[in-house]
C-alpha cells in the first residue's frame, strides 16, 4: 500500500502450495488469493507448472500484466503481485528453449503500445524492405481498401478475412493454405503484420499459430493481446488507417511466386463446381446476390466460414457480422439493427438454428427502411458435423495436397 501511493515500481512474486494442500491442514499452506486486497494494480495467479502450457503464454502474460500496470498511472507503475503455484519438479530444457534467444535479449517478449495513437515504429523503414505477409482481419470499408493498396505496394501477400473488406486478392485461402508449397513459401516471411482481429478461417488460424517470423505485429484499436499463439513481437493499439499513414509502403516487387498460382488454381476449381446445389455453392455465389450500394450481414454458422473460404467479396463492399464469441443468438436482431442504422439495402444469411433462436426478431424486419433479404440455410441442425466428417474428401477434390493437412 505504501509503495502504491507515490507510484513506486514494485513487483511481488509470491509462492503458493498446490490446491490439493489448501484448507486441509497441510503445513505452510494458506489461502493467498486476495491477501493484498486492492492495493496491487494487477494480480496474476499462475497455474501450476506444466509443460502443457507454453512458455510463450507465460512470458506474454507477464508482459501484458506489466503493460496494464504501467497504464494505470501514466509513467508511474503501481505494485504488481504474481502468485505461482509450486510443486516439486521443474520444466525441461526443451520448454525453456522454445523462447529462443529471448533469454539473452533485453526487450519484453510482447511489446505493447497502449495509446490509441500508437507511435511510429522507428525501424519500419528497415522491416518494409523484408519479406512480409499481411493478415487482414475485421476492419472498416475505408481501412480495407487502404490495406489492400498498402500490401500491393509492398509486394507482400495479403490474406484477407471475410470481414476485412479488402477484396481478398488471394481468394480461397482456407484451401490453398492446406498446400505444402504455400506453407513452405510463407515460411520465408521475416515479418507478419496483422491488421484487425477476429479471424475466421480455420486454416488461417492454424497457420497463424504455427508461423515463426522474426517479428509478428498486431495493429487494432481494441486493447488486449489478440494473439492465441502468443507470438514474439509487438501489439500496437491504433486505428488502422492512422497507423498506415505513419508507416507508408515502399514500392517493391512481389516475393511470393507459388501462392498467387495456387490461389488462382483453387478459385478455378471452386468456380467449376458453382452450378451444383449445396451450401458451399451458395457461399461461393453470394457475391452474385449482393444488392447494389448495399451491404452484407453474415451469421456465425458454417456459412460464414464457407464464404470466407470459397467466395471473393468486392473490395470496399460493407460486410457486417456479430462475431463476439461466435454465438448463434440475436443475429437477426443485429442484422435488423445494421439495416436501420445505415438505411441501406441489406442481404443477410444465417443458419437454421440461428434463425430459430431469434424468430421474434422477424417482427423487426417489417420496419426496415430499404429492401432486406434474409437467407436461412437449412442444415437440419447437424450439417456442421457432417461437413467436418467429410472435409478431407471435399478438400481432396479441390486441391489434392490440401487433404493431407488437418482442418
Q: Looking only at Cα atoms, what is the longest distance across the chain?
A: 72
Tell me if residue 44 falls in helix, strand or coil: strand
Stated pTM of the model:
0.74
- The verdict on residue 209 lying in a domain is yes
Considering 260, 283, 306, which residue would you say is the last residue of a domain?
260
Considering 210, 229, 260, which residue would you say is the last residue of a domain?
260
- The verdict on residue 236 lying in a domain is yes
**By the 8 A CB rule, do 78 and 72 touch?**
yes
74 shares its domain with 139 = no
Q: Which triple of cell numbers denotes residue 117?
A: 495513437
As to burial, measured by CB atoms within 10 angstroms (0-12 exposed, 13-18 middle, 19+ buried), residue 158 is buried
- The verdict on residue 136 lying in a domain is yes
291 shares its domain with 388 = yes
- The verdict on residue 117 lying in a domain is no
For β-strands 319-321 and 215-220, DSSP reports them as unpaired
226 shares its domain with 194 = yes
- The verdict on residue 100 lying in a domain is no
Distance of CA 89 to the CA centre of its chain: 35
252 shares its domain with 307 = no
242 shares its domain with 288 = no
199 shares its domain with 253 = yes
* SS3 labels along 294-331: CEEEECCCHHHHHHHHHCCCCCCCCEEECCCCCCCCCH
334 shares its domain with 366 = yes
Residues 6+ apart with CB under 8 A from 158: 134, 136, 147, 148, 151, 152, 166, 169, 170
**By the 8 A CB rule, do 346 and 372 touch?**
yes
295 shares its domain with 381 = yes
Considering 68, 92, 116, which residue would you say is the last residue of a domain?
92
Domain containing residue 345: CATH number: 3.40.50.970
- The verdict on residue 297 lying in a domain is yes
H helix runs in 218-357, sequence order = 240-246, 258-271, 279-285, 302-310, 331-342, 352-357
Residues 6+ apart with CB under 8 A from 401: 178, 179, 180, 181
Helix (H) or strand (E) holding 257: none
293 shares its domain with 254 = no
- The verdict on residue 85 lying in a domain is yes
64 shares its domain with 139 = no
Domains in the chain, number: 3
201 shares its domain with 285 = no
> In terms of residue numbers, what domain contains 47?
11-92
Distances (CA, A) of 203 to 121, 159, 161: 30, 11, 12
287 shares its domain with 247 = no
- The verdict on residue 110 lying in a domain is no
pLDDT in tens, the chain (407 residues): 544 544 556 777 777 777 777 767 666 667 777 777 766 767 777 777 777 888 888 888 888 777 776 665 443 345 555 555 555 555 567 777 777 877 777 777 777 766 655 678 999 999 999 999 999 999 999 999 999 999 999 999 999 999 999 999 999 999 999 999 999 999 999 999 999 998 999 999 999 999 999 999 999 988 777 888 889 999 999 999 999 999 999 999 999 999 999 999 999 999 999 988 889 999 999 999 999 999 999 998 788 999 999 999 999 999 999 876 667 888 999 999 999 999 999 999 999 989 998 999 999 999 899 999 999 998 765 555 454 445 445 545 555 554 455 44
Amino acid at each position: 500500500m505504501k509503495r502504491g501511493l507515490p507510484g513506486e515500481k514494485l513487483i511481488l512474486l509470491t509462492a503458493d502450495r498446490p490446491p490439493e494442500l489448501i484448507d486441509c491442514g497441510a503445513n505452510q499452506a494458506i489461502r493467498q488469493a486476495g491477501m493484498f486486497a486492492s492495493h496491487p494494480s494487477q494480480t496474476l495467479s499462475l497455474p501450476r507448472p506444466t509443460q502443457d502450457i507454453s512458455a510463450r503464454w507465460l512470458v506474454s502474460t507477464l508482459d501484458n500484466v506489466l503493460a496494464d500496470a504501467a497504464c494505470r498511472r501514466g509513467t508511474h507503475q503501481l505494485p504488481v503481485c504474481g502468485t505461482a503455484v509450486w510443486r516439486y519438479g521443474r520444466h525441461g530444457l526443451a520448454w525453456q528453449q522454445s523462447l529462443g534467444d529471448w533469454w539473452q535479449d533485453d526487450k519484453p517478449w510482447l511489446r505493447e503500445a497502449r495509446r490509441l495513437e500508437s507511435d511510429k515504429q522507428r525501424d519500419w523503414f528497415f522491416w518494409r524492405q523484408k519479406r512480409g505477409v499481411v493478415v487482414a482481419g475485421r476492419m472498416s470499408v475505408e481501412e480495407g481498401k487502404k490495406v489492400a493498396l498498402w500490401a500491393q505496394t509492398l509486394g507482400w501477400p495479403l490474406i484477407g478475412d471475410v470481414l476485412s473488406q479488402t477484396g481478398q486478392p488471394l481468394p480461397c485461402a482456407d484451401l490453398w493454405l492446406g498446400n505444402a508449397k504455400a506453407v513452405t513459401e510463407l515460411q520465408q516471411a521475416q515479418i507478419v503484420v496483422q491488421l484487425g482481429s477476429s479471424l475466421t478461417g480455420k486454416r488461417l488460424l492454424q497457420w497463424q499459430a504455427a508461423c515463426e517470423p522474426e517479428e509478428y505485429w498486431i495493429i487494432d484499436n481494441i486493447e488486449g493481446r489478440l494473439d492465441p499463439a502468443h507470438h514474439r513481437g509487438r501489439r500496437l493499439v491504433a486505428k488502422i488507417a492512422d497507423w498506415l499513414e505513419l508507416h507508408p509502403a515502399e514500392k517493391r516487387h512481389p516475393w511470393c511466386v507459388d501462392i498467387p498460382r495456387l490461389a488462382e488454381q483453387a478459385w478455378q476449381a471452386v468456380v467449376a463446381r458453382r452450378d451444383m446445389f449445396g451450401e458451399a455453392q451458395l457461399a461461393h455465389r453470394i457475391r452474385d446476390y449482393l444488392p447494389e450500394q448495399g451491404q452484407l450481414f453474415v451469421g456465425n454458422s458454417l456459412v460464414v466460414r464457407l464464404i470466407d473460404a470459397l467466395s471473393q467479396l468486392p473490395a470496399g463492399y460493407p460486410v457486417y457480422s456479430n462475431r463476439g464469441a461466435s454465438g448463434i443468438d440475436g443475429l437477426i436482431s443485429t442484422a435488423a439493427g445494421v439495416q436501420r442504422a445505415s438505411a441501406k439495402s441489406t442481404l443477410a444469411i444465417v443458419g437454421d438454428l440461428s434463425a430459430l433462436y431469434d424468430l421474434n426478431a422477424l417482427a423487426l424486419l417489417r420496419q426496415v427502411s430499404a429492401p432486406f433479404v434474409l437467407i436461412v440455410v437449412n442444415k437440419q441442425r447437424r450439417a456442421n458435423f457432417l461437413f467436418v466428417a467429410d472435409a478431407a474428401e471435399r478438400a481432396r477434390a479441390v486441391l489434392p495436397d490440401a487433404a493431407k493437412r488437418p482442418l
